[in-house]
């Protein structure tokens, strides 16, 4: 009983120290920008940001074992879950699709990154493409041909105009080749990890040593990641002033950051209070707010710890008090804390598209959809960690050629958004358990009726 308060107090202490680091970083940045005799050179800013760069490199180093271990250990139970697992999979796919649609609508409507585009930060965009190639590349990357290569690069179709050809606009006639671009193939790692996890689950007793290994690796990576997150106040103390020194207009930057935060909050509120309750009502024809009104302890725990994993015991107790089938609650709550990360997925997708807009990159709608899918899939590896959102965002941005330093501004407000997106994750898990329990109860009822009918016919 004493472990939860201790963990909660640690989370509060980490949030408090992060806020102190962010505040000190902003103050130092403003002082260095306004009270130095000459402008800071690019090299001087690089020297100042070096400790923060080391912090980002450590996070990057941990992402590979974090994704693999968490996805494998979570998916091991899918093969044994029967109809409950299949219903949960349908639910996760549905909420993920709705979340991606919501993110794209919000970002393309509000366009938070276009209020102050930094044209000096633009990078090389992708080459000319066909819509079909983009989706085929998603599938190719989801099923990589080399596990090691998936850790380092990702597949990309390249179209080149034939020599002495007049087919300037008809790209369907161009020559097709491919290249491997630098950046972790998040889709491929998740795909291989899911395959390994389901296969280990099918091995029953023989697969237990492998399951124990991946669970231990997941716990180990989580411990190291928590150590790294403790260093966030030190990292932002060097990253934020460097970002301020690179900015020409600090007021515009803060205004743009405010637009981004408002977009994320709006998306989380719409998803948590409108889309998910509507999905529950459509599926069960019952009031969703009767369900949500009884999960106060889980929501309070989520707000206090900002970790989906830490909230699992409280979520299970709330689901039991509601009357959810224990088989459903004890499957959906733990696996939902790893796989069903609607809040982080929305936050990460909006963040990635915000930075892309900020850099002035003009991506097509199809490529925006592809990036949104990559962001959402990568959240499976967040594993319910506090501040796990920007950890995975770094990987997604680097996979499309955007440096990790662009996440600096998002880190400054992450501690404010983290608790709300964790709450949305818990609401998604509870709504999912309610929907799955409804269809499981209906299925069991139909089985019983069929069994009684057979008995009467035999009589």
Better-predicted residue by pLDDT, 211 or 226 = 211
Q: Is 360 left (phi over 0), alpha (psi -120 to 50) or beta?
A: left
Q: Please give the average per-residue pLDDT across 132-161, as a whole number.
A: 81
pLDDT tens string 283-311: 988 888 888 888 888 888 777 666 677 68
Q: Please give the average per-residue pLDDT across 16-32, as a whole number.
A: 82
Measured distance CA(332)–CA(5) in Å, rounded: 24
DSSP 3-state of 310: coil
pLDDT of residue 271: 92
Handedness of CA 299, 303, 308, 310 (dihedral sign): negative
pLDDT of residue 10: 56
Per-residue tokens: 192? 């291989």
Nearest to 329 by CA among 315, 339, 340: 315
Q: Please give the average per-residue pLDDT across 404-413, as a whole number.
A: 71
Q: Please give the average per-residue pLDDT across 362-380, as a whole number.
A: 77
Tell whether the model's pLDDT for residue 282 goes beyond 90: yes
pLDDT of residue 448: 43
User: For residue 443, what pLDDT band results from cuts at 50, 70 and 90?
Assistant: low
pLDDT tens string 85-130: 888 888 888 888 888 889 888 888 888 877 655 544 444 444 556 6
Considering the chain, what is the average pLDDT of its residues? 77
pLDDT tens string 61-82: 877 887 788 788 877 877 666 7
Tell whether the model's pLDDT for residue 449 goes beyond 50: no
pTM, two decimal places:
0.73
Helices and strands (DSSP H and E) totals, the chain: 18, 2
Domain 3-451 is found in CATH 1.10.3860: yes
pLDDT tens string 157-202: 887 777 765 555 566 777 788 888 777 787 788 888 888 888 888 8
Better-predicted residue by pLDDT, 332 or 303 = 332
pLDDT tens string 231-262: 878 888 888 888 788 777 777 777 878 888 88
Tell whether the model's pLDDT for residue 415 goes beyond 70: no
DSSP 3-state of 160: strand
**% of the chain at pLDDT higher than 90:** 5
Nearest to 419 by CA among 2, 6, 19, 3: 19
pLDDT of residue 169: 59
């Amino acid at each position: 009983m004493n472990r939860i308060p201790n963990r909660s107090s640690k989370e509060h202490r980490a949030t408090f120290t992060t806020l102190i680091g962010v505040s000190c970083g902003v103050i130092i940045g403003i002082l260095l920008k306004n009270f130095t005799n000459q402008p800071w050179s690019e090299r001087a800013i690089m020297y100042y940001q070096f400790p923060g760069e080391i912090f980002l490199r450590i996070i990057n180093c941990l992402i590979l074992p974090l994704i693999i271990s968490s996805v494998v250990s979570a998916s091991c139970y899918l093969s044994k879950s029967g109809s409950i697992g299949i219903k949960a999979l349908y639910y996760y796919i549905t909420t993920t699709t709705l979340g991606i649609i919501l993110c794209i609508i919000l970002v393309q409507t509000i366009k938070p990154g276009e209020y102050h585009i930094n044209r000096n930060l633009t990078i090389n965009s992708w080459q000319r493409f066909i819509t079909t190639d983009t989706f085929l590349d998603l599938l190719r990357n989801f099923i990589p041909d080399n596990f090691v290569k998936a850790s380092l690069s990702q597949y990309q179709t390249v179209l080149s105009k034939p020599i002495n050809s007049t087919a300037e606009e008809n790209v369907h006639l161009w020559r097709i080749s491919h290249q491997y671009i630098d950046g972790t193939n998040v889709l491929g790692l998740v795909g291989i990890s899911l395959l390994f996890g389901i296969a280990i689950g099918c091995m029953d007793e023989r697969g237990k040593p492998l399951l124990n290994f991946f669970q231990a690796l997941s716990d180990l990576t989580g411990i190291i990641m928590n150590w790294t997150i403790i260093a966030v106040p030190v990292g932002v103390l060097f990253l934020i002033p460097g970002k301020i020194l690179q900015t020409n207009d600090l007021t515009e930057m803060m205004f743009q950051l405010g637009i981004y935060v408002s977009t994320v909050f709006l998306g989380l509120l719409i998803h948590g209070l409108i889309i998910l309750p509507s999905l529950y009502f459509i599926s069960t024809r019952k009031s969703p707010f009767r369900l949500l009104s009884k999960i106060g302890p889980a929501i309070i725990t989520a707000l206090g710890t900002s970790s989906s994993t830490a909230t699992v015991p409280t979520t299970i107790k709330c689901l039991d008090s509601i009357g959810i089938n224990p088989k459903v609650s004890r499957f959906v709550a733990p696996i939902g804390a790893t796989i069903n990360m609607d809040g982080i997925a929305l936050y990460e997708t909006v963040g990635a598209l915000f930075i892309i807009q900020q850099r002035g990159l003009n991506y097509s709608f199809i490529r925006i959809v592809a990036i949104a899918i990559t962001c959402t899939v990568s959240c499976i590896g967040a594993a319910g960690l506090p501040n796990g959102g920007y950890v995975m965002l770094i990987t997604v941005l680097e996979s499309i050629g955007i440096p990790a330093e662009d996440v600096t501004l998002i880190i400054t407000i992450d501690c404010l958004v983290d608790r709300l997106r964790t709450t949305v994750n818990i609401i998604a898990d509870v709504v999912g358990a309610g929907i799955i329990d409804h269809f499981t109860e209906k299925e069991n009822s139909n089985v019983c009726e069929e069994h009684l009918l057979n008995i009467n016919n035999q009589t």
